[in-house]
Amino acid sequence: MTPKGPALTRGRLHAYMRGFTHSSLLRASVELGVYDAVAAGATDAAAVADRLGTHPRGTRILLNALVAIGLLVWDEGRYALVEGAGDLLVSSGKDYFAGPIRLGTDDWEWDAHKRLAESVRKGGPVLETTADTPDFDYFGVWAEHSADSTFNTGAAQLVADRLLPWQPQAAAVDVLDVGCGSGWYGLEIVRREPRARLWALDWSPRALKVAESNARRAGVGERVTLVRQDAFDGPLGGPYDLVTMAHVLHHRSAEQAAGLLRRVFEAMRPGGRIGVVGHTYEDGVSPAEDPNPHLFALIMLIQTATGEPHSVAAYRRMFAEAGFVNVQFHASANSMHKAITADRP
């Protein structure tokens, strides 16, 4: 069998070895406000240091390192933004990406990734607090830094596009957001549908506070009820017409995920619809052709005892076992995640 893919070189290995350097550069530069300073006209190291209140030596080294990895450009001694940075890295940019960067470089993840070999030996997390423990603080961090960002809005819009408009004759549209986090998925429906009432369910009190704040900010707070509950074990209430569930099912095994879908099915009205968001992949396709779900599986390995992204075939089985029909998979250029919709007969 002829090997496929690029040949391994010392250069590639060195790039992988220093990956954490790139992450720390990105995190520090956003935290300090480097891109805002450059955008405002501070184009040499002394001017950037003066604007940020940072040490001249440290600032110069940071700026040159950012140029080295392509996050700034340098010409004749002056620094400038790379193409796209004005939208993504300047705080006034239309696609400001600071929230996802904060998530992707979170201290908990860095600490857990340092012990990845232990997690592989064990087959699960090694840190004391994990996604399987109540009040996992990272869920609050997720809620705070994923809200109202390009990290989530594309997928939230994709789900709402597939679930709405709802039955025009209905006097009200009752919506459940399972594992609501920032609340953005359910709130996208409530913002579009004036008849909608939302029950935002999460077991993280910090996440619920974020969802409550986002509901007020969206002007729909009076139509949102917060529910602190473990979705896998506690009562879900209902019945509901629509259900959203984003970034939840991959935290458990396929068997546990199917059990939650069965519970959600029982909490819905006949004719209701569900929209699920998360990573998924096709069985038999090389991870090199679709890397994101398989890299995300590492996060589930260090965070959960049984979780990982589920395949398209596994999702079809889970939905069918729960009683759902008309299972469909959706993608959008504005979303890094897939959406799955299904109907309750």
Q: What is the pLDDT of residue 149?
A: 53
DSSP 8-state class, residue 249: G
Query: How far apart are alpha carbons 279 and 305 in whole angstroms?
Result: 18
- Rounded to 5°, the CA angle 103-138-174 comes to 95
| Domain boundaries, given as residue ranges, for the chain | 10-91, 137-343
Which of 16-30, 302-316, 328-342 is the least confident region?
328-342
Which of 225-229, 279-283, 331-335 is the least confident region?
331-335
Check residues 223 and 129 and name the one with the higher pLDDT. Answer: 223
What average pLDDT score do residues 159-163 get?
95
Q: Is the pLDDT of residue 140 over 60?
A: yes
Query: 142 falls in which pLDDT band (50, 70, 90)?
Result: confident
Contacts of 138 (CB under 8 A, 6+ apart): 106, 108, 109, 131, 303
Q: Is the pLDDT of residue 150 over 60?
A: no
Q: What is the pLDDT of residue 38?
A: 98
Identify the CATH number of the domain defined by range 10-91.
1.10.10.10
CA 76 to chain centre: 39
Percent of the chain with pLDDT over 70: 97
To 10 degrees, what angle do helices 184-192 and 205-217 make? 20
Q: What confidence tens digit (pLDDT) does each residue in 49-96 have?
A: 999 999 999 999 999 999 999 999 998 889 999 999 999 999 999 989
Contact assessment for residue 209 and residue 141, using Cβ atoms and an 8 Å cutoff: no
Which of 14-18, 175-179, 193-197 is the least confident region?
14-18
Which of 143-147, 279-283, 288-292 is the least confident region?
143-147
Query: 3 falls in which pLDDT band (50, 70, 90)?
Result: low
Query: 152 falls in which pLDDT band (50, 70, 90)?
Result: low
Q: What is the mean pLDDT of the chain?
A: 93
Q: Is the pLDDT of residue 223 over 90?
A: yes
Q: What is the pLDDT of residue 244?
A: 98
HSE (side-chain half, CA atoms, 13 Å) at 33: 14
Q: What is the pLDDT of residue 332?
A: 86
Q: What is the pLDDT of residue 151?
A: 56
What average pLDDT score do residues 222-234 get?
95
Q: What is the pLDDT of residue 95?
A: 87
User: Which CATH number does the domain 137-343 belong to among 3.40.50.150, 2.40.100.20, 3.10.450.50, 3.40.50.300?
Assistant: 3.40.50.150
Q: Are strands 73-75 and 78-80 parallel, antiparallel or unpaired?
A: antiparallel
Q: What is the pLDDT of residue 148?
A: 52
What average pLDDT score do residues 122-130 get?
94
Listed residue (236, 331, 326) closest to 274, CA to CA: 326
